[in-house]
Amino acid sequence: MAVAQVSPGVFLSDLDSALSVSVLSSRNITLIVNASGLGGVSYPQLDLQLLHVPVQDQPHAPLSHYFESVAERIRQNHTGATLVHCTAGRSRSPALIMAFLMRCEGLSLRRAYEQVLDQRPFIRPNAGFWRQLMDYERTLFGRNSMRMTRTSCGVLPEALQDPEAQQDSEALQDPEALQDSEAQQDSEALQDSEAQQDSEALQDSEARAAYCVNI
């Protein structure tokens, strides 16, 4: 999958695809965001607008410095479609598009990631870019929908619980809620015990009455 459409009018690709006349013309690309870190890339002469993001694919690279400007430039491109690319289309360009989806389409980072991943399954922003995206999400929405987890394959993103499910889980761990739950269980157990005793007493009474009649 050389070129992926991740949102209406927004495409993601590697560098080679971004140099293809057929790719650009067939998708009506009028704006290219070059996040390859390479200057002087010679694109086909198609009256293109170019935006260069001079960032290397390194965890410490300040990609977040460009989240706002890239998102706004994509949003303002009304003349055609936008193509965002880096070298392989795996790390920098998908990270920029996820920032755009959060900033301009109101998606959580989790939803933005799922949307991009669905169209380009082999994306893998480096851990530093993930941290920058999570910081950006917290700035935009005041909370995070993902966290980083250390695995045998390295540090990878993991979706957090949905907020409602998380609140339910926290409520069960709340001391007062736990006490109320235990009190309710004790009350129900007491009622069951009293009901059982009443039933046994009634059975004993009926048995004695039957014995007396037989005598």
Q: Which residues are catalytic?
A: 86
How crowded is the C-beta side of 163, counted as CA atoms within 13 Å?
A: 7
**3-class SS letters over the chain:** CCEEEEECCEEEECHHHHCCHHHHHHCCEEEEEECCCCCCCCCCCCCCEEEECCCCCCCCCCHHHHHHHHHHHHHCCCCCEEEEECCCCCCHHHHHHHHHHHHHHCCCHHHHHHHHHHHCCCCCCCHHHHHHHHHHHHHHHCCCCEEEEEECCEEEEEECCCHHHHHHHHHHHCHHHHHHHHHHHHHHHHHHHHHHHHHHHHHHHHHHHHHHHHC
8 A C-beta contact, residue 173 and residue 165? no
Report the alpha-carbon distance of residue 143 to residue 87 in Å, rounded. 31
